[in-house]
Structure 1
Amino acid sequence: MPRYLAAALALVLAGGIAPPPAAATDHWDGPAVMAEPAADITDFFAVSLPGKRLALIMNVYPGATADTRFSDAVEYRVRLRPISGFSTQPLRAQVNDALEYLLRCRADAATAQTMRCALLRNGQKVTEVAAPVNLATGAGDPRLRVFAGNRADQSFTDLARVRMPVWRDEGMDNRPGLNSLAGKNVLSMVFLLDAAQLESKLWAAVSETHTTGSKPVQIDRMGRIEMTVFLIRDDKLKDLWNAEDSFRVDPEHEKLYRPELQSGLSRLDNFEKTLDGSNVIDWTTPHPLMDLLLDDFLILNLERTATMDSQQAGYLSVEKSLVLGQPVQSMGGRLPNEDVIKSMMTLLINGPRRDEPNRGVGVHAPAKPAVAEFPYVQPASR
């Protein structure tokens, strides 16, 4: 483990984070992150809502119980930077580093916890919210509303199927699957922002956890789903990847990530087999998505909207449009009820020009789907 990450985790342990429950779902991240569930980001959602609103949902602590608390030794963050356009060679988002909105949250150590969040624009405070944990209405003002509490896990998949090395030509999605995460809970933070205060159409969004103290160190991050499951598969690289700045990847580390990403992407492309057992290769090498994925953040188009209870497909739709040389017309981001495993696997196995067969695993929605009303994610399963 890198020395700076080991030091960070030592600081977290000193802050009193409890060990993971024996039966916890860990969402299969790097070893260092899995060891610290209070700082383990399980999911990140970004949705452009009607009425110029932006909803961001950050879930942590896989396998949380009714008694699980937010750690006062962890700072929870969401960062937003505008995208001015895209380069083509390589295919990459052009992020404006001169502007950043930062959501920064900490829970206190009191018995009845309060999550204290600040929204900053280039380091200057826009507003601050104190939200009592598990208060369903949340708290805040028109610029920022916050909910924090124990909620049902929004992840859903069939682990037995998703781990299979081959997706046969006819696919699996037409056969009912078993949701391996049904009944599981997480600690959830929901942020509702006034999108009218955001100056651009396209945004890059990433969630992070950091140690607290005078010299915070990043523990985990999440933009796109399962990057450290399907693509970054080396455990040492997973820990390094999780500690990386999504907007400024260390050039020395990038040299390590590129072959690992190519290996993971090629492996998925090889998942499709014809009936005679021969491979069906749909992507060129180096993979056209390499640089987009290296910049690990969700890409969100605020000119398109969806309701939070929708199952519409939007995840990776911006990336797919860019590969095909088409204008960005979808919302992108990620909806809680969308079958993102199907979206991801269909694109990476089939290539960008074939939507069939879809590569879902027969599980189409969370055990408790998100609803249209704030705080969107449903109460915890008991």
Structure 2
Amino acid sequence: MDDARLDLTDLFVFTVPGERTVLIMNVHPLAPAAGAAFHPDAVYRINVDVDGDDLADAAFSFVFSPPRDGQQTATAYWATGAQARTPEPGGQQIFTDVPVASGAEPRVAESGPYLFFAGLRSDPFFADLDGILKDFQWTGVDWGADKNVLSIVLEVPSDELCPDPLIGVWARVSLWQDGRLRSVDRGAHPSLTAYFNADEAKEAYNEGEPVHDWDTYHDAWREVLRHTGGYDAQAAEEVLLTVLPDILRFDRDLRAAYPNGRTLTDDVTSARLAMVSGGRIAGDHIGPHTDLLLDFPYLGTPHPDPATTPG
């Protein structure tokens, strides 16, 4: 919708010591160091499937006040059961009017066993995007090295989120329009839409539900893999089963490493290049960022003056 505040850039899920699960969704690519704000008419959401039916059993929804004098607040809801499957924010209000961090210092909120952060951070995404656009002639330049995003970070006790170690996670950004919530972006696995969806299909994809992904997209996406990677039908279907439905699975009894969850240092760009090329392109030779934090909220300090255009 030509509004960067509604642009979902990345989703991460991993565990940290103390048997705690971390959920991160980033929006607003190229967020400026000053004046970046979440959309006050949007609902930002992280959905969690705990029983493998590709439907939300829990949902964390985040809404934001209109910016005023450069300040904004966030309220977070946790819904379960039937309430988790309605688009409106509902359920238990676990954080209320938390100040959004707009500066270098993270403003961490704590409520019982939950930790919450919303605000400007360094973008953890790393890739040679210019090299990809130049037909895989690598430049050695990490496009994301000096970029910022707006981040929503939540840390919860793993057992309280779900006693079973296996969960599925996806994110969604919706906007209030004409009295209803319209889904304008959604996803879990990185870089799917860029490679698999034609421009005219992206709006319908963003409005869709993961439970319908396989039936809706696997034929068209299988053809993409045949064209880009030389896959036969059976091999393409096996690969697509790892990303359709577009839900990021995470067995928390195992180490987080994409596609089992996703950490801030996982090389998802190389994984996707290898997938779409049938293994002919192994990666883009760009490594993870070194400004990540060991503690909550884990993402690095915002850059003071990020670049505003690729390249």
CA contact (8 A) 1:336 1:369 kept: no
Who is 1:120 aligned against?
Answer: 79
Structure 2 distance, partners of 1:227, 1:96, is: 18
In structure 2, do the counterparts of structure 1 residues 358 and 110 end up closer, same or farther at CA, with 3 Å as the change threshold? Answer: closer
Q: Confirm whether residue 304 of structure 1 aligns to residue 304 of structure 2.
A: no
SS of the residue corresponding to residue 125 of structure 2 reads coil
Q: Among residues 223, 233, 238, which one is paired with 1:288 in the alignment?
A: 238
CA contact (8 A) 2:148 2:303 kept: yes
CA contact (8 A) 1:150 1:185 kept: yes
Q: Confirm whether residue 372 of structure 1 aligns to residue 294 of structure 2.
A: yes
Who is 1:315 aligned against?
Answer: 258
Who is 2:53 aligned against?
Answer: 95
Counting only pairs closer than 5 Å after superposition, residues 164-203 of structure 1 correspond to structure 2 as 165=135, 177-197=140-160, 198-203=162-167
TM-score by length of 2: 0.83
Q: Which amino acid aligns with 1:188?
A: S
TM-score by length of 1: 0.69
CA contact (8 A) 1:47 1:335 kept: yes
Instruction: Provide, for residues 122-156 of structure 1, a one-character-per-residue CA deviation record: whole Å limited to 9, x for no partner.
Output: 23734511321016242132442210011111111
In structure 2, do the counterparts of structure 1 residues 362 and 100 end up closer, same or farther at CA, with 3 Å as the change threshold? Answer: same
Instruction: Provide, for residues 268-322 of structure 1, a one-character-per-residue CA deviation record: whole Å limited to 9, x for no partner.
Output: 424xxxxxxxxxx58745531334423001111111245xxxxxxx212xxxxxx
Identity of aligned residues (%): 22
> Which stretches of structure 1, 4 residues or more, deviate above 6 A after TM superposition?
none
Q: Confirm whether residue 341 of structure 1 aligns to residue 269 of structure 2.
A: yes
Who is 2:188 aligned against?
Answer: 223
Q: Among residues 108, 116, 129, which one is paired with 2:95 in the alignment?
A: 129
Q: Which amino acid aligns with 1:72?
A: P
Structure 2 distance, partners of 1:128, 1:258, is: 38
Q: Among residues 36, 41, 63, which one is paired with 1:73 in the alignment?
A: 41
Deviation of 1:224 after TM superposition, in Å, equals 0.2
SS of the residue corresponding to residue 218 of structure 1 reads strand
In structure 1, list runs of 5 or more residues that go unmatched: 1-31, 84-93, 271-280, 307-313, 317-331, 352-356
Q: Confirm whether residue 242 of structure 1 aligns to residue 209 of structure 2.
A: no
Who is 1:205 aligned against?
Answer: 169
Structure 1 distance, partners of 2:176, 2:110, is: 23
CA contact (8 A) 2:54 2:211 kept: no
In structure 2, do the counterparts of structure 1 residues 265 and 48 end up closer, same or farther at CA, with 3 Å as the change threshold? Answer: farther
Deviation of 1:50 after TM superposition, in Å, equals 2.4
Structure 1 distance, partners of 2:136, 2:141, is: 18
Counting only pairs closer than 5 Å after superposition, residues 25-174 of structure 1 correspond to structure 2 as 32=1, 35-65=2-32, 66-83=34-51, 94-95=52-53, 97=55, 100-111=57-68, 112-122=71-81, 123=83, 125-130=91-96, 131-134=98-101, 136-163=106-133, 165=135
Q: Confirm whether residue 269 of structure 1 aligns to residue 224 of structure 2.
A: no
Instruction: Provide, for residues 205-245 of structure 1, a one-character-per-residue CA deviation record: whole Å limited to 9, x for no partner.
Output: 0010011375211110020001111222x101122111111
Q: Which amino acid aligns with 1:266?
A: R
Structure 2 distance, partners of 1:188, 1:114, is: 13
Structure 2 distance, partners of 1:144, 1:245, is: 28
Q: Which amino acid aligns with 1:190?
A: V
Structure 2 distance, partners of 1:239, 1:118, is: 26
- Root mean square deviation of aligned Cα: 2.6
Who is 2:86 aligned against?
Answer: none
Deviation of 1:344 after TM superposition, in Å, equals 2.7
Q: Which amino acid aligns with 1:140?
A: E
Structure 1 distance, partners of 2:251, 2:204, is: 29
Rg larger for: 1
Q: Which amino acid aligns with 2:299?
A: V
The number of residues matched between the two structures is 288
Q: Which amino acid aligns with 1:365?
A: P
Structure 2 distance, partners of 1:282, 1:162, is: 24
Structure 2 distance, partners of 1:292, 1:338, is: 16
Deviation of 1:36 after TM superposition, in Å, equals 1.9
